[in-house]
């Protein structure tokens, strides 16, 4: 993963999520009340709005209150330490949420961080979809900076982890024909200043 990021800015790692962790996260997802999930918005802080033209999924932030959530955050902490050691990225904090895409849901092409304006450095996506088939849809489509230049499509296969530089790669989630579950997360650098503490989300 570190080598891929160094060489090309992204990495697709089938089966990277440990089996026990992936199973625990999926079981926790299925045990959660639907009321815990809220419609996902776009933008941050005062600019945060709901826009069903851009995205239609539902999310639930992971705060470590469940055993599965704590295991996930422990795994991402170890990943953060490894990537900082190998790539000197200065990753400081991490935020993430479960995402549920119902059949037909989507997230149109966007970037996770705008160049020079945000402190999201590295995007992470982990998939929790056993038995996913090619015809089920729901691919993550990654683009280069060039307009409409598709780089690759990734099926949301159970245990696959995708990481990429947040400022560099526009991406979208295509509609699926069945419920699609994932975790989306972002490693951040410290954006605090003398008069403002940068919150994790």
Residues 75/94, Cβ–Cβ less than 8 Å: no
Model pLDDT, residue 137? 97
Q: Answer with the residue of higher pLDDT: 53 or 48.
A: 53
Model pLDDT, residue 149? 77
pLDDT tens digits, residue range 106-122? Answer: 999 999 876 665 688 99
Q: What are phi and psi of 73, to 5 degrees?
A: -65, -35
**CA distances in angstroms from 112 to 19, 24, 46, 79, 178, listed in the order given:** 28, 27, 17, 19, 25
CATH topology classification for 2-36+53-188: Jelly Rolls (2.60.120)
CA atoms within 13 A on the CB side of 147: 0
Model pLDDT, residue 55? 87
Can you give the length of the chain in residues? 201
pLDDT tens digits, residue range 79-91? Answer: 999 999 999 999 9
**Residue ranges covered by each domain of the chain:** 2-36+53-188
């Amino acid at each position: 993963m570190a080598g891929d990021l160094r060489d090309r800015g992204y990495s697709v790692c089938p089966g990277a999520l440990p089996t026990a962790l992936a199973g625990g996260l999926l079981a926790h997802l299925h045990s959660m009340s639907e009321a815990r999930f809220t419609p996902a918005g776009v933008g941050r802080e005062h600019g945060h709005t709901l826009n069903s033209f851009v995205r239609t999924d539902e999310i639930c932030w992971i705060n470590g209150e469940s055993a599965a959530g704590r295991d996930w955050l422990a795994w991402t902490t170890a990943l953060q330490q490894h990537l900082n050691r190998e790539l000197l990225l200065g990753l400081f904090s991490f935020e993430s949420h479960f995402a549920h895409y119902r059949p037909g849901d989507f997230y149109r092409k966007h970037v996770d961080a705008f160049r020079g304006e945000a402190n999201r450095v590295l995007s992470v996506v982990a998939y929790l979809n056993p038995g996913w088939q090619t015809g089920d849809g729901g691919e993550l489509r990654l683009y280069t900076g060039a307009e409409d230049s598709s780089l690759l499509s990734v099926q949301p296969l159970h245990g696959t982890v995708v990481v990429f530089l947040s400022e560099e790669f526009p991406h979208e989630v295509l509609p699926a024909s069945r419920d699609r579950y994932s975790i989306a997360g972002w490693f951040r650098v410290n954006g605090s200043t003398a008069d403002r503490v940068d919150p994790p989300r």
